[in-house]
Amino acid sequence: MANMVNLKINNIPVSVPEGSTILDAARLAHIEIPTLCYLKDVACVGSCRMCLVEATGARGLVAACVYPVSEGMEVQTNTEKCRKSRRMSLELLLSKHKKKCPSCERNHNCELQRLSAEYNCDEDYFEGEPLEHAIDDSAPYVVRDRDKCINCNRCVAACKKQSVGAIGPIGRGYNVHVGSAFEMSLMESVCVGCGQCIVACPVGALTERTTVDEVWSAIGDPNKKVVFFTAPSVRATLGEAFGLPVGTNVEGKMVAAIRRLGPDYVFNMDITADLTIMEEAHELLDRIQNKGVMPMFTSCCPGWIKFAEQKHPEILPHLSTCKSPQEMFGGLLKTYWCEKMGIDPKDLFVVSVIPCTAKKYECHRPEMKGEVDAAITTRELARMIKTAGIKFTELADEKFDDPFATCSGGATIFGATGGVMEAALRVAAKKLDGKFEVVDFPQVRGTSPIKEATYNVAGHEIRVAVASGLANAEEIIKGIQDGTRHYDFIEIMACPGGCVNGGGQPTLPDSMRNTLDLKSLRAEALYDSDKGNKLRRSSDSPVMDMIYKEYFGQPNSHKAHEVLHTSYKADERI
């Protein structure tokens, strides 16, 4: 057990483990010290100077987020000196900030705006230079507005943590700013579109490129049939945008709200999560039994796919050829379902609701052939619901539309790191050994960056690994290439914790992000849903029986490959 350090915060006695910071200690005393550049598990550099406090033994004010506690220390967090320093820091930031709050996506959900109000700042106290930098909207997934940036560098830290490094500080002193190398646009950079920079940003400098207007236009077009479908993790996060506790499963309210927006159908993307598992599990077994390219990596995360194409083209033969559930659903709707319903695919407008911004990029990949017309994030869906005046929390639960409503629990846990692996193991193990009844694989659950396990099924030893966060994917790849890691099947998710922590999820206040385990709370909602589902394996779903009987024949058939599979190629720019 760690040695404890005793100190006082605003005269309140606190005991904390040795090595803790003043910020850590203050939280145990239920005292909130303001921060802007600090973000738990992402950035801790003490550069914004918002968390300055007075502490015995220190010369002048110190940054609480990095300053270590000591025995007998006495800290004051709210003296006149602290308040004046914070207010000046805020007013200096405001002098270089585009103050168009009413039209900003982060209005009323902005850390700079909140702190400026709390400290009664004069936004024009310091006169800055004119702000006239062009907005970078070159990419189909992220928009960057340099004039809103406060140089906290949280986005830079998030991108570096992902082992991508698409953005960084440029220049020095007053002229320093965040950008890509050689001032290139995001589309020209090595950005993979994961969106972790967006959820790290405390202001509106980084946002997703919205397609909400196109969706509203399609809904209002009498010649269009509009279909919405929602990714597994959205049900566990959408409620946060309406003040519900983190980890609340709002599936029924979500369906009811979308239906009130006016589309013709509301479907469950868990259906094609099941379909992905059917195809992927059979592909894995085929590679094992016929000595195909091994190990096999999952392919359902477009941020990971872009990362592999750019940085590790040598592993592309190891990727499963399965499309993501989003693109599988788009392809399924514009082939099988349109034929079944007698709808011209040109008249169908397909909208996916997704937890990440990389899915927006995926829609623009030429090989996806316009299967999904618009991908909107959880945040965008929340804004549409608010715009429509729908009282979300007052809605009664409603169900998805048939025939794409019933799914397995394995599909639901897709949104958590390890979920794809567990769902695939459920099907693959049963396929190898018809008597294998285990459906819970706890070794691949949890938010650890890298998880490993070995399972013996019908004489086959299956070695698996799960990694979330691209830096951890990098570690897995390096280990395979240098011979220190040996696997048969590997799940990779670009975002730490998986889709529940995707770049398109609700942006919560720092006071919540820095104190709650968002990844675990959100994932718990999905595992609870899985546990309560009578159908645990994708292969048990009657919808899978229907789709294969009526259209594909069997997993990995020629027709299935035409609609549900794809290919990859090295990024020629890198």
Q: List the catalytic residues.
A: 280, 283, 300, 320, 359, 362, 367, 499
How many C-beta atoms surround the C-beta of residue 563 within 10 A?
20
Helix (H, G, I), strand (E, B) or coil at 421: helix
Cα–Cα distance for residue pair 338/563, rounded to 1 Å? 13
356 within 8 A of 335, measured Cβ to Cβ: no
Distance CA 443, CA 454 (A): 9
At position 35, the amino acid (one-letter code) is: T
Phi and psi torsions of 197, nearest 5°: -65, -35
**Beta bridge partner(s), residue 266:** 228
> Cα separation of 430 and 162, whole Å?
35
Angle at 486 between CA 481 and CA 489, to 5 degrees: 105
Amino acid present at 222: P
β-bridge partners, 39: 43
User: How are beta strands 489-493 and 265-268 bridged, if at all?
Assistant: unpaired
Burial per residue of 286-303, b for 16 or more beta-carbon CB atoms within 10 angstroms, e otherwise:
ebbeeeeeebbbbbbbbb
Q: How far apart are the first and last CA of the chain?
A: 48
CA distances for 249 relative to 62, 69, 95, 255, 442, angstroms: 42, 39, 42, 12, 21
For residue 261, give the H/E element and its range.
helix 251-261
In whole angstroms, give the CA distance from residue 230 to residue 375.
10
- Give CA–CA dist 123/130, Å, rounded: 14
Render the burial of 124-157: b for 16+ CB within 10 Å, e for the rest: eeeeeeeeeeeebebbbbbbbbbbbbbbbbbbbb
In the chain, what are the helix, strand and coil shares in percent, each to the nearest 5? 40, 15, 45
- How many Cα atoms occupy the beta-carbon half-sphere of 59 within 13 Å? 0
Name residues whose C-beta falls within 8 Å of residue 563's C-beta, 6 or more positions apart in sequence: 328, 331, 332, 335, 336, 552
| Under 8 Å between Cβ of 156 and 46 | no
> DSSP of 392-418, one letter per residue?
GGGPPP--PPTTS----HHHHGGGSTT
